[in-house]
Amino acid sequence: MKKKLLLLLMIFSVLFLFGCNNDSNKKETKDTIVIAQGADAKTLDPHASNDSPSTKIRMQIFDPLLKLDGDANPQPCLAESWDRENDTSIIFHIRKGVKFHNGDEMKASDVKFSIDRALASPEFHEVLDGITKVEVLDDYTIRLTTEKPMAAILNNLSHDCIVVLSEKYVVGGNMK
């Protein structure tokens, strides 16, 4: 009798767990993400504004050359490596095969364009102040030259708004 009761209890448990699903609770698949913030973003142009809501969204879209780890040490991101030529010059080796949202491959010319654009921005000039020249050496290599030795240059290049944009996309009037 105990075995039959135990068997009956197990059958009801299985039916209860798996047999009561009627698909009415299935949720429709959505292709929209909703992010709640205290204020709206002013712009998605990373070189146009340094407000927190805009930056939080842009951090999900764009990448910098370098990122900082938990101890504030520069780590590769879009630059796979870098070498100091001397106290005022750094060679950056750009990651190959990185695609922009429009499908174009990122090149060193895009990196130069983006740094030059950030330097021209009143919002971020102070972050990159001291950079005197950005040279494209080949499709995946740039040389960055500073006016004088800058201990914080690698950290500055990891700033949330010093990101790489597609020159073709921006020059084409698509960045609004």
Residuewise pLDDT in 10s, the chain (176 residues) = 777 777 767 777 777 766 666 655 667 788 887 777 788 877 778 877 777 877 777 787 889 999 999 999 999 999 999 999 999 999 999 999 999 988 999 999 999 999 999 998 887 777 888 899 999 999 999 999 999 999 899 999 988 778 999 999 888 877 76
- Assigned domain for 109 exists: yes
How many domains would you assign to the chain? 1
Does the reported pTM lie above 0.85? no
Determine phi and psi for 127, rounding to 5 degrees: -70, -35
| Residue partners of 28: CB distance under 8 A and separation at least 6 | none
Q: How far is CA 68 from the centre of its chain?
A: 12
Does 22 fall in a domain?
Answer: no
In a domain, residue 126? The reply is yes
C-alpha span between 156 and 2 (Å, rounded): 74
What's the domain range around 115?
52-171
In a domain, 57, yes or no: yes
CATH of the domain at 73: 3.90.76.10
> Per the domain annotation, does 31 fall within a domain?
no
Residue 80: inside a domain: yes
Residue 10 domain-assigned? no
Q: Which is it for strands 74-76 and 66-68: parallel, antiparallel or unpaired?
A: antiparallel
Q: Terminus-to-terminus CA distance in the chain, angstroms?
A: 77
> Is 45 a domain residue?
no
